[in-house]
Structure 1
Amino acid sequence: MPDVGDVATVQLVVNPFDETTGTTLTVRAPDGTTTTPSTSTADDGQTWTAEVTYTQAGVWLLRWTVTGTGASVDNQQVAVAPTPGAGLTGRVYATTTQLANYLQAAPPLDAARLLLEASRLLDRDFLVPAVYDVDDDGLPTDTEVADAFAEAVCAQVEFWQEVGAETDISGPLQGVAIGSVQLQYGAGDNRSGPSYYAPKLARALASLPSSKFRMTVATGCF
């Protein structure tokens, strides 16, 4: 799979072919823009090649139009991967170095994305009713709180690595207390299903003193 920035030689083999065979290549990028790079043949019209520069991540369409002998249309799709880490924006509570130290092992190659997703999960499912001091970027200013958040998201990434699945569905995490708040997930028929939150995530938050981190509701059921 090519990455953004790669220059690839693409080709089409035509059969039947002769000296009347010709080709035109139309390249459509993921954003819909099109280009028509020049094509050439080194074997009298059977194999045609062109150079394509992949400037965007996504699915590219290569449309070959053959004229003369072997006239046809051939569509090729090429999936292009983004530059690792590109396009990741948002508040992240741990670095890949912190994750490596937490795991005591090399982090996964997509660690930056996983930490971002875990931070979004923490924001959405745990921190909405929370009160703590933050800076202009919304990050905790207290070192103990920052360390707990880092531990929480690292625990979630570790959990995802163990269960082999990422999901935002609330499983039956029950009986977890964070200050005065009791959190319960997956009530009713869902209580026997799997939990999709790392147990150590909630424990990291529960370890914080109420003077630095507290919930603004008396009870909670997510």
Structure 2
Amino acid sequence: MPSDLGVGDSETVTLNVAPADNTTSATLTATTPGGTSSSVTVAGGALAEIPGSNPVEYTQTWTSTTPVTFTQAGRWVLRWVVTGTGGGAEDFERYVLPARTAGGPTWWPGRTQVAAYVPWLTVSLSKPGDQTYQGTFSDDTSPDGAVADRHIADAGALVAPLATVMPAALYELAGTVTALHAAASLAAAYARTDEDARRAENLLARAVTAYQRLTTAVDDAGVDADADEPILIANYPGCEPGYLFF
């Protein structure tokens, strides 16, 4: 699953193998967005009996002995290969941001959270014909990361009047509202087909609903939200230039 890891973050990687026994062995390889692979030292834990198994079977947890440090932005692949009992291979993806959106408050979403709503905009430009979604915005996507950041900042400005007075418990919801507005704006700006335009309209509808839920939550928390805060909709397909009022 995509994540909002940032460059410099580290993760201790684990894998549960079942069934497992004394013949089980595992290796871990980390591949950077640039394609460089390196082995990660791992160790297996004690065999643990699987409750209710008959005949008795065991599970075993393998763990990297040192954390994997994500030194580059983009898509990393962590590949486990297991031999012996429980043998097989499995890839885990990590999407690493250059940073959370620069200059914004902590509740602003990162590029990865926004990209989850518009995955078709994260196809790699450097791999023609490959329609694999990268799961984030970067110099290798259209829109690129800098453009995505500007849309996130614009969407954040819509929510900011509420966020200045809302309880911290609502920051996650504020981030979701911002991410939906940013995704709708990006989808509209980069719509190539009628279907893309419809996707943008649907995202905008979801963003409006989420904003209304946020204002209600702020009111329920005892904060007097400004019900006349305007939301500019001039740049969305299917909408006449003007404002929405909540």
Q: TM-score, normalised by structure 2?
A: 0.40
Q: TM-score, normalised by structure 1?
A: 0.44
From the two aligned structures, give the one with the greater helix fraction.
2
Q: Give the number of the structure whose alpha-carbon radius of gyration is greater.
A: 1
